Structure 1
Amino acid sequence: MTSQTPPEALNPAELSAWTSLLGTVIWLPAALDTHMQRETGLSHSEYQVLWWLSVSDGGTRRMGDLADTASVTASHLSRIATRMEKRGWIGRRPDSADGRQTIAYLTDSGWAKVAVCQPHYTTALRALVFDRLDPTQLTQLETIMTGILTPLKPCCTPANRAASSEG
């Protein structure tokens, strides 16, 4: 039997930073969800799906790419898309370039829903995040979060999300 050296415990600074990050990861989405439900009747995830479609070329995106950029699983996206189709906000069709893929697209009602919801989302983001940061902290936050996110999910870094929405 081999014995392994247990990993070194987090030092106090690491533990403090981790606790703050973990709390933010848990409580910020919950606060955004509560705000969006109250103000628009949409969950945070539902709004993200509509918003990512709205910033995609022509309001269309492959479902797999949309799941990645909206940070939802494929099965969760499928349930969201079904609800939104029933409300007339999005449609789905086979990808003409690859019939195995499905394209989601915003309808006219979907574009209108994004226009109604976007100011509420921006208000919440400013109140919960950006109004609490000075310009230097904002730059630091982006650098730190991109450094953490890139090895975890390279497709979802700001630069890669922008590039993927261009084509």
Structure 2
Amino acid sequence: MDENRWLTPPEQRAWRAYVESATLLFDALDRDMQQDAGIPHAYYVILVRLSEAPDQSMRMSELADVTRSSRSRLSHAVARLQERGWVDRVDCETDRRGQVAQLTPQGLSALGEAAPKHVEAVRAYVIDRLSPAQLAALEEIGDTVIAGFTDPEASVAS
């Protein structure tokens, strides 16, 4: 690939629109979650992932992977959620070195209180602003970009 392959004007506009919209969206979601639940949006995502897991628990390493978080960042976040009584951390029964994060009833209740406002925000900021065709395109674009990071065949040559 040519090392000096610059973005064309349409590519540059698309890229900048994506970056700015993603930045604005996640700043707004984080601000809203701090205001509504007193936690960062990233902590809300941890609670959601645990609520969807079997037995509302997940190995810490797997939780880090599905939340796209470093192990140390996740460990810090889970410690903060433990302080609130929303998550417990227990030793893994099948691996003495591993730990499992488990959503507590208080955590599930806190998630239940935060979720409606979060969904309302997601609708207001994105979903309700898009036509069905735009929503389908957004999903396809997201899936394509994600595949580039998860499928070795789709990765970009360096």
Tell me by how many angstroms 1:146 deviates. 0.6
Tell me by how many angstroms 1:83 deviates. 1.0
In structure 2, give the amino acid aligned to 1:67. Answer: A
Tell me by how many angstroms 1:85 deviates. 0.8
Tell me by how many angstroms 1:6 deviates. 4.0
Task: Indicate the residue corresponding to 1:37 in structure 2.
Answer: 34
Take 1:110 and 1:40, find their aligned partners in 2: how far apart are those partners?
11
Take 2:68 and 2:24, find their aligned partners in 1: how far apart are those partners?
16
In structure 2, give the amino acid aligned to 1:46. Answer: Y
Task: Indicate the residue corresponding to 2:76 in structure 1.
Answer: 79
Residues 45 and 72 of structure 1 are in contact (CA less than 8 Å); yes or no, is this contact kept in structure 2?
A: no
In structure 1, give the amino acid aligned to 2:33. Answer: M
Instruction: Give runs of aligned pairs for residues 98-109 of structure 1, distance below 5 A.
Output: 98-109=95-106
Instruction: Give runs of aligned pairs for residues 12-51 of structure 1, distance below 5 A.
Output: 12-51=9-48
TM score, norm. by length of structure 1: 0.85
Q: What are the Cα deviations for residues 68-118 of structure 1, in whole angstroms up to 9, with x where unaligned? A: 222222111111111111111000111112222111001110110111111
In structure 2, the gaps of 5 or more residues are 152-158
Take 2:109 and 2:3, find their aligned partners in 1: how far apart are those partners?
55
Percent of aligned pairs with the same amino acid: 33
Q: What are the Cα deviations for residues 114-154 of structure 1, in whole angstroms up to 9, with x where unaligned? A: 11111111011001110111111111110111101112146
Take 1:14 and 1:48, find their aligned partners in 2: how far apart are those partners?
31
In structure 2, give the amino acid aligned to 1:71. Answer: R
Instruction: Give runs of aligned pairs for residues 53-132 of structure 1, distance below 5 A.
Output: 53-132=50-129
- SS of residue matched to 1:151: helix
In structure 1, give the amino acid aligned to 2:34. Answer: Q
Q: What are the Cα deviations for residues 32-57 of structure 1, in whole angstroms up to 9, with x where unaligned? A: 00011111111101111111100111
Structure number with greater CO (CA < 8 Å, separation at least 6) is 1
- SS of residue matched to 1:92: strand
The alignment of Structure 1 onto Structure 2 pairs a total of residues equal to 151
Residues 92 and 103 of structure 1 are in contact (CA less than 8 Å); yes or no, is this contact kept in structure 2?
A: yes
Match of 1:144 among 128, 141, 146: 141
TM score, norm. by length of structure 2: 0.90
- SS of residue matched to 1:93: strand
In structure 1, the gaps of 5 or more residues are 155-167
